Amino acid sequence: MHAVEFKDIVAASERIRSAIQRTPVLTSSAINAQLGFEVYFKCENFQRVGAFKMRGAYNALSHFDPDARKRGVVTASSGNHAQAIACSARLLEMPAKVVMPFDAPAMKISATRGYGAEVIFYDRYTQDRDAICNEISASNGMTVIPPFDHPDVIAGQGTAAMELLEEVPDLDAICAPLGGGGLLSGTAIAAKQMQSTIRVYGCEPLAGNDGQQSFRTGEIVRIDTPKTIADGAQTQALGALTFPIIRALVDDVLAVDDVTLIRAMQCHAERMKLWVEPTGCLGLGALLSHTLNLPKNAKVGVIISGGNVDAARFSSLIQSLS
């Protein structure tokens, strides 16, 4: 039995319903023709705070008892989880502190502060963010909610795939971005329960393919902080909770290089008029760069994880292709 079951995802869906958006599922005939699949994009770039992370954050914080709410929450994140915790804490009227790297995207730092959280900076290449969170928790009693390795976070993230399969129940495969594994593990639990023959693919940056290495060796592989444009997937290792779920339920983990991610960003923008951050392009990037063992015109779901990239960054990445 895993740390999270499908019933937990169903319960999370009810718990977070009033706080999140039920995001649209969109298609593109041009992308379908290019790939030879029917691709259904679950657009979490339209989610509250601009990313799927709102689902897990609100689900986790909504479990707090009155005393824990009074003391507040602390977390560490490169951006989207930070915003989600800050927004959820504001909605639930509790204090929040967020440990963020100095080089996190400026718009994510600004948004996190805008929701009322206190931001504490660290160097992601030399400092241990978890140790900083634990020190804060020990000093003032705040509850630590990690960005992915927590049952309530995983259950919340799984609601995105649940919604996708409610709309398109006969998917042959589903692709989800992979950083620490919260989204992918929740996706796998929901998908395998709702469509037993579905194939589940994790998609991660090539420069940070610890998940792929872990999946293929059967044990958690830890790497140095990867240097990739996919800032939402700059994790060093899968979690103690997420890895067993991924190992048991995921069919394969695919790695995507940064140039392909930029091409996927451009494709989303030009073909679908969607503003998607690099991490959110991992699913389409995987489809553009890998040959999946699926029949022609197979139905493939893709979770677009978020759209939090500023205009200057978006423009410079697209221009780098020319």
Asked about 210 being catalytic, the answer comes back as yes
Residue 253 backbone dihedrals phi, psi, to 5 degrees:
-120, 125
Residue 12 backbone dihedrals phi, psi, to 5 degrees:
-60, -40
Give the number of other Cβ atoms within 10 Å of residue 311's Cβ: 9
Name the active-site residue from 42, 50, 53, 280. Answer: 53
Asked about 208 being catalytic, the answer comes back as yes
Give the number of other Cβ atoms within 10 Å of residue 29's Cβ: 9
Asked about 14 being catalytic, the answer comes back as no
Name the active-site residue from 163, 204, 231, 258. Answer: 204
- Cα 254 to Cα 303: distance, rounded to the nearest angstrom: 14
Question: Tokens representing 132?
Answer: 């900083």
Asked about 204 being catalytic, the answer comes back as yes
Name the active-site residue from 72, 108, 305, 307. Answer: 305
Question: Tokens representing 237?
Answer: 């290792």
DSSP state string for 133-181:
HHHHHHHH-PEE--SSSSHHHHHHHHHHHHHHHHHSTT-SEEEEE-SSS
Token pair 């792929």 is found at: 212
Q: Please give the angle made by the CA atoms of 56, 59 and 64, to the nearest 5 degrees.
A: 130
Name the active-site residue from 210, 231, 258, 277. Answer: 210
- Cα 61 to Cα 134: distance, rounded to the nearest angstrom: 17
Half-sphere exposure of 108 (CA within 13 A, CB side): 30
Task: From residue 86, give the alpha-carbon distance in Å to each of 35, 111, 175, 188, 234.
Answer: 38, 9, 28, 27, 20
Asked about 299 being catalytic, the answer comes back as no
Asked about 78 being catalytic, the answer comes back as yes
Question: Tokens representing 1?
Answer: 């039995």
- Cα 96 to Cα 112: distance, rounded to the nearest angstrom: 10
What ranges make up the beta strands (E) of 228-285? 252-256
Name the active-site residue from 208, 232, 283, 285. Answer: 208
Name the active-site residue from 28, 77, 78, 185. Answer: 78
Tell me the catalytic residues.
53, 78, 204, 208, 210, 305
